Structure 1
Amino acid sequence: MPSPTASSLAPAGAITDVAGIEAGHFTDTRRPTGCTVILARDGAVAGVDVRGAAPGTRETDLLSPTNLVDRVHAVMLAGGSAWGLDAASGAMRWLEEQGIGLQVGPGRIPIVPAAVLFDLYLGDTAIRPDAAAGHAACAAASGDAPEEGSVGAGTGAIVGKIYGVERAMKGGVGTASLRVGGITVGALVACNALGDVIDPDTGRVLAGARLDDGRTLMDTRRALLAGQPPKRLVAAANTSIGVVATDAVLTKAQAARLATVAHDGFARSINPAHTMFDGDTLFALGTGASGQPAEMMLLATMAAEAVARATVRAVQAARGITVDGVHIPSLSDLA
């Protein structure tokens, strides 16, 4: 059997390779949870696409191409389910302290959309990201490549839960970037998928539901198609969320389209994706720092590829965890 850590997708860059983008994590040491912020201090044209049927989001209506505000200053990704949306308030406070925001009359209002994932299976559910956590993630942000794996919004992420949490594996945060023709596209993903994570180049399952021996991967897609019923599922207890960013010059409509096509990366690297029990959400940001106009065919291809690579990186970099006697192994544990 090939090493489960092997993948045709080699690690390649980070979302912070996009000029004008910074990233930071807050990881809670009391329970496996946290949050991750993507900062655009100078503002970025933004779009969003929510594909999962059980989302937890904030300020996504604002990003419709028909609505007024077209630039955001940060995107917050958090664990903690709906409670984790409070982390965005901390990001707003931090940005206000830096004098960053949309000028509205006498003041500046930071624009911070957010999305959350469910990570309440492990530990005390009363511990979840709050405004202080969001503020700390912003304070930790920089233009350096962010840490990957069991950090930030991916600290408590688990993948492959269709046949029960006891058969699942550790998810996490991953990032990747590509540069073509003077344009850079990067992605950061917090992968907490209900389904398996797949190497999109080979079709091989990398992480997901395991057989009773604890080491052999089931291949959820084949199990479902063979008629093996899923375990009774907890509604909304999953979700993969992320951000795609580019230094190309985008309109708001183009940013919305980029978020849509970036979901192809989830569809290639997660199976099944966009389920009734996931809240899969992707934001797209255009900093315009390259000065080059968008060539949407190229950007669409790059965005989907970056998301797929970042998703794979999320499970490659994750670390196994044991909480309250429950052990969730990582990809590296099975190598």
Structure 2
Amino acid sequence: MSITRVAGLKLGHFTHAERPTGCTVVLCEAGAVAGVDVRGAAPGTRECDLLAPSNSVQQVHAILLSGGSAFGLDAASGVMRWLDERGHGLAVGAARVPIVPAAVLFDLWVGDGRIRPDAAAGYAACEAASSAEPQQGSVGAGCGATVGKLFGPEWAMKGGIGTASLTVQGVTVGAVVAVNAVGDVRDPATGRLLAGARSPQCGLRDTLAALQAGALPKALLAGANTTIGVVATDAVMSKVQMQRIATMAHDGLARTLQPVHTGFDGDVLFSLATGAAGKTLEPTVLGSLAAEVTAQAVLNAIRAATGLPGLPAHQDFP
């Protein structure tokens, strides 16, 4: 069950063949009401200001999630070109301007950092987009993602991208999240650590327990991490309501990532409402569901991730 169960959406990945990086696009070609909530202290974003409820643009046509740090924002230009060629965009006089907000994560230290998603990568992700169940794990924007870096990247594990959805009262809520956190990933239902900082003695260190015991984190670069994602629904919602949904969805990150929203992360969640279900849902209910599917998407990302040399994944541990 993925975000593509939300009527009116398609999802596509581009995974670079030359190093672990890529981008992921969520297409809403007919337009969708959108919001955003930026919680990390070092974000890399594009077109976020227009999503403020007080600003005039009412719909977007895609959301891009990308690796490559700020360089990866270039991939949004390829998404714009793909939409423009098909006549999708905001009507401005005789012109149509595709609206494509974007956010990036830092993966430049995994492989050759000179190789980043560009406009061609964004265009290719659009070409690959469909409403089918998407691949999860080490693909698209999650290809070079890592977690558990508070005590140094040498102890990190592989992150990834995951998706989940729920349907309640005829309304579907879904999420896709690229997990590249400085912190650990914990299953809130069981309390079990799934991935995070590894211990020199083998196994997982448990970052939160180590901090409580007085361990000091290694000096890290601000913004060298970041978890980014999209929560979406086919309910009929307003721009003000979708801003609140994006805020509530961050609870799903807080349940699964420890620590989260740090000075080393640029955590960003976008929200989309296609209205394709033709009905609404009370915003508090919808926001609660959004937090749940966000949490499940994080867990799915980690369970599906595959390791790299020196970067084991969850599935590499017994």
TM-score by length of 1: 0.94
- Deviation of 1:263 (Å): 0.2
- The one-letter amino acid paired with 1:52 is G
Query: What 5-or-longer segments of structure 1 have no aligned partner?
Result: 1-12
- The one-letter amino acid paired with 2:288 is T
- Deviation of 1:294 (Å): 2.9
For the pair 1:39 / 2:22, whether they are aligned, the reply is no
For the pair 1:106 / 2:94, whether they are aligned, the reply is yes
Query: How far apart, in 2, do the equivalents of 1:294 and 1:66 lie?
Result: 22
Q: What percentage of residue pairs aligned between the two structures are identical?
A: 63
Query: How far apart, in 2, do the equivalents of 1:173 and 1:50 lie?
Result: 19
- Deviation of 1:105 (Å): 0.7
1:251 to 228, 238, 244: 238
Query: How far apart, in 2, do the equivalents of 1:88 and 1:203 lie?
Result: 37
- The one-letter amino acid paired with 1:145 is E
The match for 1:239 is 226
> Where do residues 152-301 of structure 1 align in structure 2 (5 Å cutoff)?
152-214=140-202, 216-301=203-288
Query: How far apart, in 2, do the equivalents of 1:252 and 1:209 lie?
Result: 38
The match for 1:330 is 313
The match for 1:54 is 42
Query: How far apart, in 2, do the equivalents of 1:76 and 1:271 lie?
Result: 25
For the pair 1:73 / 2:64, whether they are aligned, the reply is no
For the pair 1:23 / 2:42, whether they are aligned, the reply is no
Query: How far apart, in 1, do the equivalents of 2:106 and 2:100 lie?
Result: 20
- Deviation of 1:129 (Å): 0.4
The match for 1:8 is none
- Deviation of 1:234 (Å): 1.9
RMSD between superposed Cα atoms in Å: 0.7
Query: How far apart, in 2, do the equivalents of 1:213 and 1:120 lie?
Result: 28
2:70 to 75, 82, 85: 82
* Mean Cα deviation higher: 290-299 or 41-50: 290-299
Query: How far apart, in 2, do the equivalents of 1:91 and 1:34 lie?
Result: 14
Query: How far apart, in 2, do the equivalents of 1:192 and 1:213 lie?
Result: 24
TM-score by length of 2: 0.99
The match for 1:9 is none
Query: How far apart, in 1, do the equivalents of 2:252 and 2:133 lie?
Result: 21
Query: How far apart, in 2, do the equivalents of 1:71 and 1:294 lie?
Result: 19
Q: Deviations over 1:187-223 (max 9, x none)?
A: 0000000000110112221100011134x11110110
Aligned length: 318
For the pair 1:306 / 2:293, whether they are aligned, the reply is yes
Query: How far apart, in 2, do the equivalents of 1:285 and 1:146 lie?
Result: 18
Query: How far apart, in 2, do the equivalents of 1:104 and 1:203 lie?
Result: 51
- Deviation of 1:79 (Å): 0.2
- The one-letter amino acid paired with 2:99 is I
Query: How far apart, in 1, do the equivalents of 2:269 and 2:58 lie?
Result: 16
2:130 to 142, 150, 157: 142
Q: Deviations over 1:113-162 (max 9, x none)?
A: 00000001121111000000000000000000110000000000000001
For the pair 1:117 / 2:105, whether they are aligned, the reply is yes
Query: How far apart, in 2, do the equivalents of 1:49 and 1:235 lie?
Result: 19
